[in-house]
Amino acid sequence: MTTDVLNAPFRHALGRALSLLLAIPLSLVLMIHPASMLDASGHYSHGMLMLIMWGVAGGYVHGVGFKPRALAWRGAFHPLLAWGLMGLGVVVLAQARQWV
């Protein structure tokens, strides 16, 4: 089974729209009001923010329709990984804002 068969479900416009709809608000929050990601003690978790930014980058890569050629880059920016990391970002933001 080739990677083209595995990635076929993620080429649809709905999946790309989901990637952009997750990436745009998270990137705006991180750029405009980064203090909203502080934890209860008033510190950033830099490791967690790095993962969230990786997810946002993957969301933009998939959302605009870019298809990396190298297998390593395809794995690094796969939509499932990006969605999971952006979901982690939403959870971190919710916990920081006391929504959970």
Q: Which pLDDT belongs to residue 88?
A: 93
Q: How many domains does the chain have?
A: 1
Q: Is residue 92 part of a domain?
A: yes
List, in order, residues 6 or more apart from 57 with CB less than 8 Å away.
Answer: 77, 82
Q: Which of 38, 20, 37 is nearest to 83 (CA)?
A: 20
List per-residue pLDDT tens for the chain, 100 residues long: 566 666 667 778 888 999 999 999 999 998 998 888 777 677 778 888 899 999 999 999 999 999 888 989 988 999 999 999 999 999 988 887 775 4
Distances (CA, A) of 91 to 42, 67, 88: 17, 28, 5
| pLDDT for the residue 99 | 56
Q: Is 41 among the domain residues?
A: yes
Q: What is the pLDDT of residue 19?
A: 93
- Please report whether residue 90 resides in a domain: yes
Q: Is residue 1 part of a domain?
A: no
pTM here is 0.85
- Model pLDDT, residue 2: 60
Domain limits for position 55: 12-96
The packing angle between helices 46-63 and 13-32, to 10°, is 140
Residue at 3 is within a domain:
no
Instruction: For residue 95, count other CB atoms closer than 10 A to its CB.
Output: 13
- Any domain includes 7: no
Question: Residue 7: its pLDDT value, please?
Answer: 66
**What is the model's pLDDT at position 80?**
92
| Cα–Cα distance, 87 to 100 (Å, whole number) | 14
* Cβ–Cβ under 8 Å, residues 39 and 46: no
Please indicate, yes or no, if residue 42 is contained in any of the structural domains.
yes
Q: Establish if 5 belongs to a structural domain.
A: no
